[in-house]
Amino acid sequence: MKITYNNTEVNMPDTIIVGAAKSGTTSLFNYLTNHPDIFSPKEKEPWFFSFKDEYPNFVHPVTGSKNPKMIISNINDYLELFKNAGNQHCIEGSTAYLYTAEKTIKNIREIYGELYKKLNIIIILRNPIERAWSHYTMHLRDNQTNLSFENSIKKKTIETRLAQRATIGYDYIGFGRYYKQVKIFKETFNRVKVILYDEFCSQPQSSISSIFSFIGLKDYEVNIKSRFNISGIPKNKAMNYASRFIKKPSMFKDLFMKIFPKSLIVYLRNKLNNLLYKRKKLPPQIRESLINQYKDEIYLLEKLINRDLRNWLKN
């Protein structure tokens, strides 16, 4: 979308995938990118509209290192992501946007002006219990937590971590409180499409085709064989050592990310994840506790999006 910012015409996203985290957003983003009329930036999750003009000083809760997440908070850096888009349809996807809904929308309206009404918003929702577990096992996979899941989802633990400036992704429970988040997007934007994760997994091509129609592009058959950013734990001790080595920061890895195309980086990362990790099931007793915690919100969400979510409440 062409908008005028500071008296200059610039490219901005026509479509934004706002979340939810660990609900297939990375796969969806990469599938959509296959369309010849779509332009996507190399940085999939800039989190710009969550933190515009206020770069957060996040601290890794395990290592104590600062700013472990790549975040773009400067408008000029954000515009740079789309400078080569030409007349293509621009997309962006940042899972922080659903979690920080009010701030995200405020910043979008500030930048877009009245053109915000033309923006396409895509929301993909996963059972919040499975979502929380997947988010935790991703952190486990990436050596970003040293706590059990049961301890990690305690209110006191989450509050302490956020107070100590851990990234917002450690709010495993808050990221799944969809009702208010979805409600404010639906009330603000004219064009909002809600997709359910289970339907996306079972019928990916149909889901993607419906999105192409929603954003006004011709249908296009994409390669849906690969899944991206899969959570899990190392398959064995050898894979655990390999995982720790690969996840360590290095100048070589930073150089590789800058030199090689995004498609190759995504492909190799996906292959490594499939090689190193396996899925782990959520303990039934913790699932039951989370069902009780989320059930009232799920009932409200059902009415808001007019979808049957009873499967989310099964133990």
How far does Cα 84 stand from its chain's mean position? 23
Q: Is the pLDDT of residue 231 over 70?
A: no
203 compared with 248, residue with greater pLDDT = 203
Evaluate whether 123 touches 185 at the Cβ level (below 8 Å).
yes
Please give the average per-residue pLDDT across 143-169, as a whole number: 94
Looking at the chain, list the stretches that DSSP marks H as alpha helix, in order from N- to C-terminal side.
25-33, 48-51, 75-80, 96-99, 101-112, 128-141, 149-152, 155-163, 178-188, 197-202, 204-215, 237-247, 251-259, 262-276, 284-305
Closest by CA to 220, choosing from 38, 52, 61, is: 38
State residue 248's pLDDT score.
60
Please, which residues have CB within 8 angstroms of residue 114's CB and are 6 or more apart in sequence?
A: none
pLDDT above 70 covers what percent of the chain?
A: 82
Domain range list for the chain: 2-133+172-226+293-313
Four-CA torsion 255, 260, 263, 265, nearest 10 degrees: -30
Q: Is the pLDDT of residue 12 over 90?
A: yes
89 DSSP β-pair partners:
38
d(CA 159, CA 152): 10
Please give the average per-residue pLDDT across 227-242, as a whole number: 56
Please give the average per-residue pLDDT across 153-174, as a whole number: 96
State residue 242's pLDDT score.
52
Three-state SS at 124? strand
Please give the average per-residue pLDDT across 249-262, as a whole number: 61
Q: Return the axis-axis angle of helices 178-188 and 101-112, rounded to nearest 10°.
A: 20
How many alpha carbons lie under 13 Å from residue 270 in its C-beta half-sphere? 13
Please give the average per-residue pLDDT across 75-96, as a whole number: 96
Q: Is the pLDDT of residue 227 over 80?
A: no
Take residue 15 and report the two structure tokens written for it: 């479509």
State residue 260's pLDDT score.
66
Lowest mean per-residue pLDDT among 22-31, 160-169, 252-261 = 252-261
Looking at 113-261, list the stretches that DSSP marks H as alpha helix, in order from N- to C-terminal side.
128-141, 149-152, 155-163, 178-188, 197-202, 204-215, 237-247, 251-259
The CATH fold assigned to 2-133+172-226+293-313 is Rossmann fold (3.40.50)
Q: pLDDT confidence of 23, banded at 50, 70, 90? A: very high
